Amino acid sequence: MNPLLTHYLVVSALLFSIGFAGAVARRSAIIVLIGIELMLNAANLNFIAFWRYGAHSEALTGVLFVLFSIAIAAAEAAVGLALVIAIYRQRKTTQVDGLDRLKG
Amino acid sequence: MLNEIAFYLIAAVTLGFAVAAMALRQLIHCALCAAAAFAGLAMLYLQLDADFVGFAQLLVYVGAIAILIVFAVLLTRNDEILPGSRRSSPSWLMGIAAALLVLSGIALPILNSPSLRHAPTATAAAPVKLIGVELMTHYVLPLEMVGILLTAALLGAVVIAMREEPETKTQSRPPAARRVETSEVVSQP
């Protein structure tokens, strides 16, 4: 007996909301980035679940979309964390509510 | 039945680690819990018969992104939260409320739609050979674009995170030039 498609979608929705809550409620920029990664992963889980439970699983569309999404998430994490390190060097903080000035 | 028990176990562990990654106080604990949550997601992919994606997830997220996050946490180490200060933003309650609103907006339609309540029909498989053939034929242009994007992101990350010692030299040059100009102005009369 396999789990239904609904189960995977609910897990993905929970993961998305957890990531969203962390991204909007925490002060540390690194935690905000982890939250964004969790939201991206929830979308990936949806793609894989719909691919597996869909009618045309031989097309491999969901799998390939997730592979590209993982590559783009890696690029985003690298640039985001480099920005966090650069900001820390400039301001000696990574708390997002301390970064309210555009002037360097 | 066994599949279902495994699904519930993996899902509970993944969600638990995700909550811990968002809620713990120490940043390094958050980073490690996030790595565990990514590993749990890889298990879910493996259970959904997407082997290659599962291993790619393990390699990229647990292997690369988690290490990157740990490095960022360690490089910004002096940014420890003081005992008296808050770790969440002042309006964190509104953030949680917005997240619950988003959750209800996504989950209620899912739970109320009977067309989603079906088991997988056929055995789907994504063999690595087929994925490679697709990447080299149908998806070759996106693959090249991702290659360019990753190169640009790598260079950009290095440039952004680099120490700015040469720039301080160039910044110190204009005042020096100005000083020469003013000294010339002063010496002229």
Q: How many distinct structural domains can be found in chain A? A: 1
**In this structure, is residue A101 part of a structural domain?**
no
**Does any domain span residue A32?**
yes
Q: For residue A14, is it within any domain?
A: yes
Domain encompassing residue A72: 5-96
Closest partner CB to B99 (pick from A5, A17, A41)? A17
Q: Tens of pLDDT along A26-36? A: 888 999 999 99
Question: In this predicted structure, what is the pLDDT of residue B80?
Answer: 58
Asked whether the beta carbons of residue B41 and residue A45 sit closer than 8 angstroms, the reply is yes
A68 domain-assigned: yes
Q: What ipTM was estimated for this complex?
A: 0.93
Domain that holds residue B14: 1-78
The residues with which B88 forms a beta bridge, in sequence order, are A26
Looking at residue A98, what is its pLDDT?
77
Q: Output b/e per residue, B85-94; b: 16+ Cβ within 10 A.
A: eebbbeebee
Read off the pTM.
0.85
CATH number of the structural domain spanning residue A77: 1.10.287.3510
Q: Kindly report which listed range (A89-98, B6-15, B75-84, B154-163) carries the lowest average pLDDT score.
A: B75-84
In a domain, B104, yes or no: no
Domain count, chain B: 2
With beta carbons less than 8 A apart as the criterion, state whether A66 and A25 touch: no
- My answer on whether B9 and B73 are in the same domain is yes
Asked if residue B185 belongs to a domain, the reply is yes
Domain annotation covers residue A102: no
Measured between CA atoms, how close is A59 to chain B, in angstroms?
9
Facing residue for A11 by CB, picked from B15, B124, B163: B15
